[in-house]
């Protein structure tokens, strides 16, 4: 999760997932040609703009640090470049006709870095850990129990009614509401890793990541992750050779963009990542550099302006519409993002199945003024609110000031509220601000959008173990807050919720799309949320080969570059 | 006895300075308009935050908090860096960062003095002539360019255009001596230019004054060579201000290199402070500033002692006060 005002330094909520129509066609690259002969060996350093807060279920690794973690970890399923979710550590997934029961079967012969097998026990523990069941076990003195904290994954996994092992290598997941795209939720935009049971159940869950990936942990600290090749890695290259090619990678946290730019230009860094939220200028500069290759993700990252429906002024629809119409998105794209990205005309981008322009309150100064005036008539007060922003960089501050100026033109007073990232997160879940710009939704599907748009991700399931324990034990009565904590605008719209849940259960893609788009229209009509930009992420590199070439285990190509960068398994150094 | 009394007073003064500085910094944590517990533990519940406040003394008044922090500090517990996955010790970070900063500082001083001393001597010797004017004007230009700007120019030209040197990172001796120095050259140059200018001017001024002393005229009349007069009779008494300034700037360099260490990502104390500010790690910030203050005071004391040895008149003047 990242605020467009944070300078892109941290995500703290699990963010993202799925894709039905991811488009490689939007991935652009520039610069040097890639050598085509794999070369073994070498250690490289990669510059990133996020730190490493930890590796347990509640430690949300953001963007570029997620890229580092994904050298150690792999996911049960993976997303192809066409957006389709395919088995990865899983051999297969099958579902019942009603889309409520899913059988997940694990690929044979894969081992975690600690030598233990990837089997049904491991998958079961992983899912139960994400659901919060192992956390609760710990509180109740039961086993198995995890030492990790309860995280937002509880909200993402709340549709699970039950999960059981049905064999040595198979797990059956029963859902409360039908979900035809459940594997998207199992992927969670590359975040629901296969963690070894020893990590989940041990006391070093946050600091000692144990996965199945091509690289193993050497050392980790807040600002650096060092990994070395896993000699027992299960995948092979096209010629049956061992993977990975590189001996090791050091991911180093460089919060300022300048050292990353100079580092990759000079060769001190083999590669480095950027975000268009605050580093569009640097991305454009690197695109022009002929000695480098710069690849940019599709604009599939949707920072949202979350308006708190529980308190004034955004409990008023007039206020929400006034703000939505006051934002000059074209100017924003030109001034703040140097043209990199696109002007939003829906709460998500065109690649997302929710995308619908109908009802979207775009820039219209006259309407903004009119709704601000209507708000005054309604409440007797001028429209005024505080805009929290993380003053981590001059660009982040400039972003906030531009919104302030846009609102002023519409007669809306904005008080800038400088916050730390941690404060912003603490006050966002649950929401204590009047509004907050924050990147939560992304991708082409809905598993990483829908949980932010409904008031109860469990779908009101009375048999969910959290609901039941909350009813039975007073100490746990607040736990169900996790089902709605992701909807930080705190809106409850039964029309849009019913449409969203119906769409998620629908197998027919055309019908599904229509339902989702109706839900989007409803959300936009009510101006429950709005936005001002769409973001992309980039990776620039030099003297590297094999990027984007290694096919997935089940065939097909992975997405070339995302918010979590690239897959390093098949990459080699040409130096 | 008088000397001992003087030195005890001097140490006591520095100790008071140290206490005042660290207390002042500790107030930072108290006056920030947010709850530190919220910042360092954003996802914790109120009980955990209360426990955190108690653990570092935030539930006490400013003096109680300071005394608790000071008590821990003198025992080597510099506090912790907090993040969602756990904690890291400030001392662990500083133990890794400090040698890098000290080396950077030492190289900077050696390089700056190595350039400034001959330039200062030459400039004084040729005072008012073309060589002096060229040196003075060139140094004036360099002194007016901030170190970070020099750093950026070096990165663009030497690092990226010519690709002669790495633009960021740090290499230990074990990674190779040349590798180590390759990573140090540009940060050292960035920090040195301002110092070279400052040192050269100080030395030039003092040497010009010394050259007018009677004992120099006497030495010349005895037929001693200019080189001998300059280096043996003029340079030593003229270098007091230079070495005092160099020693005092060492403490400042550790903290003052924040921008340079950030640009070159050398992961020294400056970089740690930069990261602490960005991450609102106030305890890290507080302890880092205290360590820098400690170094500053230490070098100040070294200057006092050292100048007494270099020029006994200084020591005598002080003890006679």
The DSSP code sequence of B180-242 is: HHHHHHHHHHHHHHHHHHHHHHHHHHHHHHHHTSHHHHHHHHTT--HHHIIIIIIHHHHTHHH
Q: What is the pLDDT of residue B183?
A: 92
Average pLDDT over residues B55-67: 85
Closest-CA residue of chain B to A11: B84
Q: Does B40 sit within 8 Å of A259, measured CB to CB?
A: no
Query: Is pLDDT larger for residue A11 or for residue B103?
Result: B103
Q: What is the pLDDT of residue B315?
A: 58
Which of A316-320, A421-425, B278-282 has the least mean pLDDT? A421-425
C-beta of residue B105 within 8 angstroms of C-beta of residue B257? yes
* Among B168, B186, B190, the residue to mutate for chain A (most A Cβ within 10 A): B168
- The 10s digit of each residue's pLDDT in A77-87 is 999 998 899 99
Question: How many CA atoms are closer than 13 Å to the CA of A85, on its beta-carbon side?
Answer: 28
Nearest CA distance, A301 vs chain B (angstrom): 24
Query: Is pLDDT larger for residue A44 or for residue B79?
Result: A44
What token pair was written down for B103? 């080396």
Average pLDDT over residues B20-45: 73
Of A51, A151, A262, the CB nearest to B159: A262
Q: Is A394 on the interface with B (CB under 8 A)?
A: no
**Own/partner pairs, B95-99, CB within 8 angstroms, 24+ separation:** B96/B267, B97/B267, B97/B268, B97/B269, B97/B271, B97/B272, B98/B268, B98/B269, B98/B291
Q: What is the pLDDT of residue A10?
A: 37
Q: Does B81 sit within 8 Å of A265, measured CB to CB?
A: no
Q: Is A60 on the interface with B (CB under 8 A)?
A: yes
Q: What is the pLDDT of residue A25?
A: 34
Kindly indicate whether the ipTM for this predicted assembly is greater than 0.90, answering yes or no.
Answer: no
Residue B254 has pLDDT above 80, yes or no: no
Q: Does B43 sit within 8 Å of A425, measured CB to CB?
A: yes
Residue appearing with tokens 């398994």 = A569
Average pLDDT over residues A553-558: 90
Chain B neighbors of A147, CB-CB under 8 A: none
Q: What is the pLDDT of residue A69?
A: 97
Chain A neighbors of B169, CB-CB under 8 A: 45, 252, 263, 268
Average pLDDT over residues A326-337: 94
Which of A59-68, A167-176, A352-361 has the least mean pLDDT? A59-68
Considering the four listed CATH numbers 3.30.360.10, 1.10.3720.10, 3.40.50.880, 1.10.10.10, the one that applies to the domain covering B92-279 is 1.10.3720.10
Of A255, A259, A425, the CB nearest to B275: A255
Please write down the HEC assignment for all residues of A123-190. Answer: HHHHHHHHHCHHHHHHHHCCCCCCCCCCCCHHHHCCCEEEEEECCCCEEEEEECCCCCCHHHHHHHHH
Of A56, A259, A423, the CB nearest to B38: A423
Of A255, A262, A423, the CB nearest to B34: A423
Chain B neighbors of A149, CB-CB under 8 A: 43, 84
Per-residue DSSP letters for B242-258?
HHHHHHHHHHHHHHHTH
Q: Is A167 on the interface with B (CB under 8 A)?
A: no
C-beta of residue A257 within 8 angstroms of C-beta of residue A98? no
pLDDT band of residue B277 (cuts 50, 70, 90) is confident
* Among A46, A204, A223, the residue to mutate for chain B (most B Cβ within 10 A): A223
Q: What is the pLDDT of residue B313?
A: 64
Closest CA to B255 of B246, B268, B237: B268
Closest-CA residue of chain A to B83: A53
Chain A neighbors of B165, CB-CB under 8 A: 266
Taking one residue from A and the other from B, the number of pairs with CB-CB distance under 8 angstroms is: 104
Q: What is the pLDDT of residue B310?
A: 65
Of B42, B81, B168, the CB nearest to A259: B168
């Amino acid at each position: 999760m990242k605020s467009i005002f944070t300078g892109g330094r941290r995500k703290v909520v699990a963010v993202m997932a799925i894709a039905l129509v991811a488009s490689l066609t939007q991935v652009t690259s520039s610069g040097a040609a890639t050598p085509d002969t794999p070369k073994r060996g070498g250690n490289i350093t990669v510059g990133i703009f996020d730190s490493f807060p930890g590796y347990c279920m509640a430690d949300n690794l953001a963007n570029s640090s997620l890229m580092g973690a994904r050298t150690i970890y792999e996911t049960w399923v993976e997303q192809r470049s066409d957006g389709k979710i395919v088995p990865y550590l899983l051999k297969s997934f099958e579902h019942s006709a009603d889309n409520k029961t899913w059988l997940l079967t694990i690929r044979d012969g894969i081992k975690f870095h600690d030598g233990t097998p990837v089997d049904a026990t491991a998958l079961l523990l992983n899912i139960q850990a994400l659901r919060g069941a192992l956390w609760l076990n710990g509180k109740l003195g039961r086993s198995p129990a995890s030492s990790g904290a309860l995280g937002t994954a509880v909200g993402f996994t709340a549709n699970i009614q039950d999960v059981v092992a049905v064999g040595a290598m198979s797990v059956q997941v029963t859902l409360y509401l039908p979900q035809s795209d459940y594997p998207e939720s199992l992927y969670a935009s590359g975040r629901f890793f296969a963690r070894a049971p020893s990590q989940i159940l041990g006391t070093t869950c946050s600091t000692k990541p144990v996965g199945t990936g091509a690289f193993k942990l050497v050392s980790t600290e807040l600002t650096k992750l060092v990994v070395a090749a896993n000699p027992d890695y299960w995948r092979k290259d096209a010629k049956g050779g061992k993977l990975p090619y590189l001996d090791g990678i050091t991911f180093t946290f460089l919060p300022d963009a300048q050292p990353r730019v100079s580092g990759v230009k000079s060769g001190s860094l083999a590669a480095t990542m950027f975000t268009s939220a605050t580093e569009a200028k640097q991305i454009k500069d690197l695109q022009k550099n002929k000695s480098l290759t710069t690849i940019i993700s599709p604009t599939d990252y949707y920072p949202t302006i979350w308006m708190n429906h529980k308190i004034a002024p955004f409990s008023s629809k007039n206020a929400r519409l006034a703000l939505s119409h006051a934002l000059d998105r074209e100017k924003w794209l030109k001034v703040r993002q140097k043209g990199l990205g696109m002007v939003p005309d829906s709460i998500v981008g065109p690649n997302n199945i929710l995308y619908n322009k109908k009802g979207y309150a775009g820039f219209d100064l006259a309407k903004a003024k009119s709704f601000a005036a209507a708000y005054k008539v309604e409440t007797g007060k001028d429209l005024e609110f505080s805009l929290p922003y993380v003053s981590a960089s001059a660009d982040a501050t400039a972003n906030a000031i531009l919104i302030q100026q846009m609102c002023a033109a519409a007669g809306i007073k904005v008080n800038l509220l400088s916050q730390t990232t941690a404060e912003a997160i603490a006050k966002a879940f649950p929401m204590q601000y009047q509004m907050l710009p924050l990147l939560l939704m992304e991708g082409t599907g809905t598993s990483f959008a829908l949980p932010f748009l409904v008031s109860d991700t469990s779908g009101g399931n009375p048999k969910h173990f959290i609901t039941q324990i909350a009813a039975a034990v007073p100490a746990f009565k607040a736990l169900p807050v996790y089902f709605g904590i992701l909807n930080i605008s705190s809106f409850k719209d039964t029309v849009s919720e019913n449409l969203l849940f119906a769409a998620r259960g629908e197998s027919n893609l055309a019908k599904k799309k229509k339902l989702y788009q109706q839900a989007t229209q409803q959300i936009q009509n009510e101006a429950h949320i709005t936005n001002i930009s769409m973001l992309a992420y980039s990776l620039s590199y030099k003297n590297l080969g094999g990027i984007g070439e290694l096919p997935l285990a089940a065939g097909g190509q992975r997405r070339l570059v995302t918010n979590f960068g690239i897959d390093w398994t098949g990459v080699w150094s040409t130096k | 006895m008088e000397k001992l009394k003087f030195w005890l007073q001097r140490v006591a003064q520095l100790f008071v300075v140290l206490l005042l500085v660290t207390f002042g910094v500790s107030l930072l944590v108290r006056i920030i308009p947010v709850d530190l517990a919220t910042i360092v533990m954003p996802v914790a519940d109120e009980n955990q935050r209360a426990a955190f406040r108690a653990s570092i003394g935030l539930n006490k008044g400013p003096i109680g908090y300071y005394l608790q922090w000071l008590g821990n500090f003198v025992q080597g517990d510099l506090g912790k860096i907090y993040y969602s996955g756990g904690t890291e010790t400030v001392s662990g970070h500083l133990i890794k960062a400090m040698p890098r900063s000290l080396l950077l500082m030492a190289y900077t001083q050696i390089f700056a003095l190595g350039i400034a001393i001959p330039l200062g001597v030459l400039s004084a010797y040729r005072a008012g002539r073309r060589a002096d004017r060229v040196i003075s004007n060139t140094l004036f230009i360099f002194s007016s360019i901030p170190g970070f700007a020099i750093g950026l120019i070096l990165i663009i030209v030497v690092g990226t255009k010519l690709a002669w040197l790495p633009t960021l990172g740090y290499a230990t001796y074990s990674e190779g001596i040349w590798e180590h120095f390759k990573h140090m050259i540009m940060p050292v140059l960035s920090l040195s230019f301002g110092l070279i200018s400052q040192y050269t001017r100080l030395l030039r001024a003092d040497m010009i004054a010394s050259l007018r002393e009677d004992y120099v005229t006497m030495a010349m009349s005895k037929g001693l060579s200019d080189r001998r007069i300059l280096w043996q009779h003029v340079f030593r008494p003229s270098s007091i201000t230079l070495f005092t300034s160099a020693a005092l700037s060492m403490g400042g360099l550790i903290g003052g290199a924040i921008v340079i260490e950030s640009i070159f990502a050398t992961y020294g104390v400056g970089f740690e402070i930069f990261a602490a500010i960005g991450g609102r790690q106030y305890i890290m910030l507080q302890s880092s500033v205290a360590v820098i203050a400690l170094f500053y005071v230490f070098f100040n004391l070294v200057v006092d002692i050292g100048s007494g040895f270099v020029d006994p008149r200084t020591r005598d003047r002080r003890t006679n006060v």
